[in-house]
């Protein structure tokens, strides 16, 4: 089932003014919006019926009825402790408030990522990883840290994988790829220029691409064959890539575990073999 409020929040910045007005009203008044007809929602959000329909279709729904039904179901299932609005860091926050807010944002990001993940897609990703001769990992900045984590995990169970911190070498890797490889591109925004360049080179070589990115339309998403979606509620300190990093690392943990579990005994043997004892 589509997660309406997450999809709406993530896609809102890309909508036009009229569609955004309807989306803002729904995010601010989800329970009220779920009970409104399309004409009433248009009136309450000071927009038009056609704008509401466009907003629904941009999120992948057939129309307002489909959207409203999914919203109603989501609200009925929603954890009563889950907040819909972001609790921002503010000037003068105490150390205790910073601990609470950052921890809550990370927890919320993990919960939202779980809710939007499709088990069938995850299983397909793990199968593609199993069939691939090599896993090629791509990422810049904070996304490279996530790619590096995936590399270390796969190395422990002896899955051939390639990674480089230098993006020029990442591009060389992309241009040298084959259809028997699997490329994993990590880009929260989906608009990172270097990753788009690598993705285009991978496409030319017919190399399957798995993107770990936001659930919004982007060039990375369009170029990818498979997509695992990450969400986060950060904005004020976006450059620090905090909640999105936690969410993406969680996806890597889930993907790695699903892959390793497909050949459980082999993975366990490799983990024991590659374990390095520490001095007590």
Q: What pLDDT is attached to residue 72?
A: 87
Whether residue 170 is found in the same domain as residue 55? no
- Determine which helix (DSSP H) or strand (DSSP E) holds 228, and give its type and residue range: strand 226-229
Token duo for residue 107: 């927890």
Considering the domain boundaries, does residue 94 fall inside one?
Answer: no
* Owning domain of residue 57: 4-77
- Total Cβ atoms within 10 A of residue 88: 13
pLDDT at 247: 86
DSSP string covering 26-58:
HHHSHHHHHT--HHHHHHHTTS-HHHHHHHHHH
pLDDT of residue 243: 67
Query: Max alpha carbon distance in the chain (Å)?
Result: 70
pLDDT of residue 166: 95
Is there a contact between 27 and 75 (Cβ–Cβ < 8 Å)?
no
Q: How do the pLDDT tens digits run along the chain, 280 residues long?
A: 467 888 888 888 889 999 999 999 999 888 889 889 999 999 999 999 999 999 999 988 989 998 998 888 878 766 544 544 446 677 888 898 888 877 877 777 787 788 888 899 999 999 999 999 999 999 999 899 999 999 999 999 999 999 999 999 999 999 999 999 999 999 988 999 999 999 999 999 999 999 999 888 899 999 999 999 987 655 444 444 666 788 899 999 999 999 999 999 999 999 999 988 887 6
pLDDT attached to residue 239? 42
Whether residue 125 lies inside any domain: the answer is: yes
Q: Which two tokens stand for residue 34?
A: 């779920």
Of 88, 73, 81, 89, the residue nearest 30 (C-alpha) = 73
3-state secondary structure of 64: helix
CATH code for the domain of 140: 3.40.50.10490
Identify whether 191 is part of a domain.
yes
Phi-psi label, residue 79: left if phi above 0, alpha if psi -120 to 50, beta otherwise: beta
Q: What is the number of domains present in the chain?
A: 2
178: in domain: yes
83 is a domain residue: no
Residues 141 and 256 in one domain: yes
Query: Residues with Cβ < 8 Å from 265, sequence gap 6 or more?
Result: none
- Check: CB of residue 262 under 8 Å from CB of residue 130: yes
Q: What is the dihedral of CA 97, 103, 104, 109, to 10 degrees?
A: 150
């Amino acid at each position: 089932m589509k997660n309406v409020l997450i999809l709406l929040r993530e896609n809102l910045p890309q909508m036009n003014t009229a569609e955004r007005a309807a989306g803002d009203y729904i995010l601010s008044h989800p329970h009220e919006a779920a009970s409104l007809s399309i004409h009433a929602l248009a009136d309450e959000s000071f927009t038009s019926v056609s704008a509401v329909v466009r907003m629904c279709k941009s999120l992948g729904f057939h129309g307002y009825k489909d959207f409203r039904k999914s919203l109603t179901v989501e609200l009925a299932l929603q954890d009563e402790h889950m907040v819909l609005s972001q609790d921002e860091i503010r000037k003068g926050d105490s150390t205790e408030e910073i601990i609470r807010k950052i921890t809550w944002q990370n927890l919320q990001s993990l919960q939202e990522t779980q809710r939007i993940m499709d088990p069938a897609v995850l299983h397909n990703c793990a199968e593609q990883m199993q069939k691939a001769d090599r896993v090629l990992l791509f990422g810049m900045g904070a996304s490279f840290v996530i790619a590096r984590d995936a590399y270390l995990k796969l190395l422990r169970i002896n899955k051939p994988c390639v990674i480089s911190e230098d993006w020029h070498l990442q591009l060389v890797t992309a241009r040298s790829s084959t259809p028997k490889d699997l490329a994993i591109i990590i880009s929260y925004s989906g608009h990172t220029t270097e990753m788009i360049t690598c993705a285009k080179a991978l496409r030319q070589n017919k190399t399957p691409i798995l993107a770990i990115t936001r659930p919004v339309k982007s060039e990375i998403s369009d170029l990818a064959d498979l997509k695992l979606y990450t969400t986060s509620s950060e904005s004020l300190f976006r450059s620090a890539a905090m909640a999105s990093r936690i969410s993406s690392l969680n996806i890597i943990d889930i993907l790695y575990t699903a892959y390793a579990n497909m050949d459980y005994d082999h993975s366990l043997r490799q983990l024991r073999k590659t374990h390095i004892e520490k001095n007590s």
